[in-house]
């Protein structure tokens, strides 16, 4: 009776090794829709061909619509950090005064980048997991000769989406430029670059835009262009001027990642077909289900328990349980990749990403896997299946 | 009798629009083998997963074997120019003396990059299409306090592969570091980084390595590491130290283009299976067929008529014929993408690339298409089919 013998499927069952099925439920890279994979694997365009120029031109226009800007959106082959670095190198000169406001790992990246260029920022430091305070930031920006303020929209290390609209409004009277790291938020939550008066927003392809990583973007306002003309820090590969001169001819200054551009072109088409409002509402809904499910498992949220956690749900590990172990069990035994904690939060929290090509069943899967992994580590859900059940209840309208 | 009516297939026949078939016979991006496309389109790895770390570790080891170095090969998500820029930003400080030797468009890129960082190089200028002269370069490098010499291995704007082995040997007694742009030559012609005493070689994925563009590399010798510790030019995204610290853990400092890394992993496996010596001989053979074919069409070579033109065959347009027009006809009517001239050679020359995933029939196709396009512009081959015929003769051992 081989094949009919009783099957034991406790938490020790090693699903990932048996079926090889994988789930990326992270803040990025996120899963890539099959249509986008197909676009990426289509025959390679030469980057100087008219076909590619048309593709690039359409992609840049679609990016402008996602950024909600009529001004330049510059494209770089690189990680999101490359676009962030471009916002230091293209805007500043030695000795410039800038303000960096941070409340987590990615906010602190602005500090690292500025210091790498010899700029020591005024640091408006917030506790990790707190919300950035527009008034504190505006007060620091109000000091004489502040060139720019650097902030983060979605702080994926803590799950907080900061209110960059209010920050921009508060900073504007000071005359300082407002630079926003939107690497993990662009396309996932509202970001109205022109309407909100954001001078520079930088973003990446591999988060809410549903693309493989490899491309990064920077929107540049007329005020930012003026400042960049005065800035003397060195740059060439990441030079906005060099990039813009080529882009005005639907060209790139350097050989771009043409397959990822083709993927992005298709992903942005899917995003436009779906509609930004619908996507933002979808992400808020997934976030709500994730938060409720996590709480139903008896876990405490680390990020805010409200709609500002739209991109990432961060939660604390139960006492005595190592988040990195839980992460590894989920990944190696169940094929589910969530995210652990970064920096000082390593081992203490875990994070579920909900953006891009994810839906309700990804959240249910994440919660189900989490319960199995925690059980293996000795933590039991108050009620079996409570996390997934609560999420389903939420998604059913409860 | 529809379908049996006589078909007129003169040079006006618009093949590209009918069958949509495309040929990339350029110095890059080059065609990507189907196995590499499949690897690129496999389900996305999370860049912090053990699967990806294994893939990255193996890829880095394979890159070391291609570079023929036991030292670090650092990987960046970016164009080849990003890796070139890293060799300026990581090695130099304001006021440093460097030598740039150029004989074409890509050699001159070193000048642009250095100047973007405020460094005014000593320029050992050669005519476009000439060979770099090791003695002239060594003489310039012999002046006091020369930190580094920057040269190009394959000058794809002219088709000349420079003798960087002799240049490195000549420069070594001066103590200056030797930095080589191998963006379009790595894997296509011999480059023995350690044995030849090359301190830094930079390269890209999209040429002889048969990958889509998006990744760039820099090999760093112990002497170059020492110099980089003294260098004060700013860098973070392109910092060798930042990259190396992550790579020692089979990790990357920033989210890499994971799909292109997967593609590269497969491409390097194919390259190792084929063997470097066999690949170099294959490219030399294709180059020989291309040169002979071009001459048989009655055209004059622009690059050297010897094995140093192994990567690119450059040739002059007949009097009164615009190379850009010929390029467009080839591309739009026949689906064949060759390369035109760059900079001061625009319109005057055309170039056939022979590297990566190309074979004898690509060269025959390029020559056949060239004859058709030239006929449309009023230039006739001395004998119909002479270019393709001569190439076939060469490939048959003639």
Question: Can you tell me the distance from the alpha carbon of B104 to that of B156, in angstroms, rounded to the nearest whole number?
Answer: 8
Question: Do residue B155 and residue B28 come from a single domain?
Answer: no
E strand or H helix that includes residue A98: strand A97-102
Question: Can you tell me the distance from the alpha carbon of B62 to that of B276, in angstroms, rounded to the nearest whole number?
Answer: 12
Question: Do residue B157 and residue B88 come from a single domain?
Answer: yes
List b or e across A238-277, with b for residues whose CB sees 16 or more CB atoms inside 10 angstroms.
bbbebbeebbeebebbbbbbbbbbbbbbbbbbbbeeeebe
Locate the chain B residue with the closest alpha carbon to A77: B78
Strand extents, DSSP E, B254-331: 312-316
Q: Which CATH number is B163's domain given?
A: 3.40.640.10
Question: Can you tell me the distance from the alpha carbon of A340 to that of A314, in angstroms, rounded to the nearest whole number?
Answer: 9
Question: Do residue B203 and residue B55 come from a single domain?
Answer: yes
A78 touches chain B (CB under 8 A): yes
Residue B97 is encoded by which pair of tokens? Answer: 């003396």
> How many C-beta atoms surround the C-beta of residue A94 within 10 A?
10
Question: Can you tell me the distance from the alpha carbon of B150 to that of B148, in angstroms, rounded to the nearest whole number?
Answer: 7
Tell me, yes or no, whether A1 lies in a domain.
no
Question: Can you tell me the distance from the alpha carbon of B177 to that of B196, in angstroms, rounded to the nearest whole number?
Answer: 12
Asked if A285 and A395 touch (Cβ cutoff 8 Å), the reply is yes
A250 touches chain B (CB under 8 A): no
Q: Tokens 């410039």: give the residue.
A: A96
Cβ of A213 within 8 Å of Cβ of B257? The answer is yes
Question: Do residue B130 and residue B256 come from a single domain?
Answer: yes
3-class state of residue B337 by DSSP: strand
Based on the structure, what is the number of domains in chain B? 2
Tell me, yes or no, whether B3 lies in a domain.
no
pLDDT tens across the length of chain B (398 residues): 344 444 444 445 566 666 678 899 999 889 999 999 999 999 888 998 888 999 999 999 999 999 999 999 999 999 999 999 999 999 999 999 999 999 999 999 999 999 999 999 999 999 999 999 999 999 999 999 999 999 999 999 999 999 999 999 999 999 999 999 999 999 999 999 999 999 999 999 999 999 999 999 999 999 999 999 999 999 999 999 999 999 999 999 999 999 999 999 999 999 999 999 999 999 999 999 999 999 999 999 998 999 999 999 999 999 999 999 999 999 999 999 999 999 999 999 999 999 999 999 999 999 999 999 999 999 999 999 999 999 999 999 87
> How many residue pairs from chains A and B have C-beta atoms closer than 8 A?
162
Cβ of A46 within 8 Å of Cβ of B24? The answer is yes
E strand or H helix that includes residue A243: helix A240-247
Tell me, yes or no, whether B1 lies in a domain.
no
Instruction: Check the CA dihedral A296-A299-A300-A302 and report its sign.
Output: negative
Q: Tell me the residue range of the domain where B330 lies.
A: 15-32+275-395
Question: Can you tell me the distance from the alpha carbon of A96 to that of A66, in angstroms, rounded to the nearest whole number?
Answer: 31
Question: Do residue A112 and residue A245 come from a single domain?
Answer: yes
> How many C-beta atoms surround the C-beta of residue A386 within 10 A?
17
- CB-closest option in B24, B254, B257 to A81: B254
B54 touches chain A (CB under 8 A): no
- CB-closest option in A44, A113, A255 to B79: A255
Domain end position, chosen among B273, B306, B329: B273
Question: Do residue A185 and residue A318 come from a single domain?
Answer: no
Question: Can you tell me the distance from the alpha carbon of A122 to that of A171, in angstroms, rounded to the nearest whole number?
Answer: 15
Question: Can you tell me the distance from the alpha carbon of B210 to that of B260, in angstroms, rounded to the nearest whole number?
Answer: 11
Tell me, yes or no, whether A159 lies in a domain.
yes
Locate the chain B residue with the closest alpha carbon to A28: B46
B231 touches chain A (CB under 8 A): no
Question: Do residue B69 and residue B163 come from a single domain?
Answer: yes
Question: Do residue B307 and residue B186 come from a single domain?
Answer: no
Q: For residue range A19-33, list pLDDT tens digits in order.
A: 678 899 999 889 999
Cβ of A29 within 8 Å of Cβ of B46? The answer is yes
A195 touches chain B (CB under 8 A): no
Tell me, yes or no, whether A2 lies in a domain.
no
- CB-closest option in B32, B214, B337 to A214: B214
- CB-closest option in B37, B76, B81 to A41: B37
Question: Can you tell me the distance from the alpha carbon of A256 to that of A53, in angstroms, rounded to the nearest whole number?
Answer: 12
Question: Do residue A50 and residue A193 come from a single domain?
Answer: yes
Cβ of B337 within 8 Å of Cβ of A46? The answer is yes
Which residues of chain B neighbour A236 with C-beta distances below 8 Å? Answer: 81, 85, 112-113, 116-117
Q: Which CATH number is B379's domain given?
A: 3.90.1150.10
Domain end position, chosen among B230, B246, B273: B273
A12 touches chain B (CB under 8 A): no
Cβ of A255 within 8 Å of Cβ of B32? The answer is no
Distance from CA of B233 to the nearest CA of A (A): 8
Distance from CA of B77 to the nearest CA of A (A): 5
């Amino acid at each position: 009776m081989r094949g009919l013998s009783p099957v034991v499927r406790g938490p020790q069952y090693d699903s990932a090794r048996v079926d090889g099925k994988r789930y990326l439920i992270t803040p990025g890279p996120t899963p890539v829709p099959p249509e986008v994979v197909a676009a990426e694997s289509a025959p390679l365009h030469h980057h100087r061909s008219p076909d590619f120029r048309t593709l690039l031109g359409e992609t840049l226009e679609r990016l402008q619509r996602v950024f909600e800007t009529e001004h330049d959106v510059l494209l770089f082959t690189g990680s999101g950090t490359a676009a962030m670095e471009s916002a230091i190198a293209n805007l500043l000169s030695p000795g410039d005064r800038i303000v960096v406001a941070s409340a987590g790992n990615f906010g602190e990246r602005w500090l690292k980048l500025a210091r790498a260029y010899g700029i020591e920022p005024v640091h408006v430091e917030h506790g990790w997991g707190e919300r950035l305070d527009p008034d504190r930031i505006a007060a620091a920006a109000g000091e004489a000769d502040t060139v720019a303020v650097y902030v983060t929209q979605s702080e994926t290390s803590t799950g907080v989406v900061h209110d960059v609209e209010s920050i921009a409004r508060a900073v504007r009277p000071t005359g300082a430029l407002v630079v926003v790291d939107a690497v993990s938020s662009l396309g996932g939550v509202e970001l109205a670059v022109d309407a909100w008066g954001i001078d520079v927003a930088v973003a990446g392809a591999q988060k809410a835009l549903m693309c493989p990583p490899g491309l990064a973007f920077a929107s540049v306002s007329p005020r930012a262009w003026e400042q960049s003309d005065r800035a003397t820090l060195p740059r060439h590969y990441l030079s906005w001027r060099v990039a813009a001169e080529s882009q005005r001819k639907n060209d790139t200054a350097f050989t771009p990642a043409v397959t990822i551009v083709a993927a992005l072109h298709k992903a942005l088409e899917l995003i436009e077909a779906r509609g930004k409002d619908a996507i933002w509402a979808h992400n808020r809904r997934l976030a709500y289900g994730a938060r409720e499910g996590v709480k139903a498992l008896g876990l405490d949220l680390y990020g805010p328990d409200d709609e500002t956690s739209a991109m990432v749900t961060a939660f604390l590990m139960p006492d005595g349980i190592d988040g990195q172990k839980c992460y590894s069990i989920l990944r190696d035994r169940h094929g589910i990749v969530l995210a652990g904690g970064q920096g000082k939060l390593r081992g203490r929290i875990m994070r579920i990403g909900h953006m891009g090509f994810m839906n309700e069943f990804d959240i249910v899967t994440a919660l189900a896997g989490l319960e199995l992994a925690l059980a293996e580590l000795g933590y039991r859900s108050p009620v079996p299946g409570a996390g997934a059940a609560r999420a389903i209840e939420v998604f059913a309208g409860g």
